[in-house]
Homo-oligomer: A and B are copies of this chain.
């Protein structure tokens, strides 16, 4: 997340409305998408409630749409900060044993069959998801990053 924040924070407010490649998502969409996904992560892990379920339609169900009305960057940045501060606090309370427990997107029965599908696996999956989008966001920079 530190790396993702560094990437997003390197852009001006205007640059947030740049597409990462022609016809592809804008930075603002990816930013809202990650924040909304991580807001929902609290429920997937079974450690809290989403604070903005209303954003799921815009940033999870719908693709980027230049005609859609997104929250302002000020609002999105505040949402991003709140979500990640809350997740950090929640994660700090989880013991190692709790990370290996079942997450809420699967049944007890499925978990019995495959205990590797635990909360830690969800977290690692989300880390890969962040990296996937950061790889796109950095394309807006003038240099060619590796």
Contacts and interface: CB of A to CB of B under 8 A. Distances in A.
A25 B55 CA distance: 33
18 contacts: A20-B21, A21-B24, A21-B139, A22-B22, A23-B144, A24-B139, A33-B146, A63-B144, A63-B146, A64-B144, A124-B127, A127-B128, A128-B128, A129-B131, A131-B135, A132-B132, A136-B136, A139-B139
Contacts of A40: none
Given A25-B144, A63-B146, A144-B25, A20 B139 contact: yes
Interface of A: 20-25, 33, 63-64, 124, 127-136, 139, 144, 146
Contact of A135 (B63, B64, B124, B134): B134
A14 to B, nearest CB: 18
Contacts of A144: 23-25, 63-64
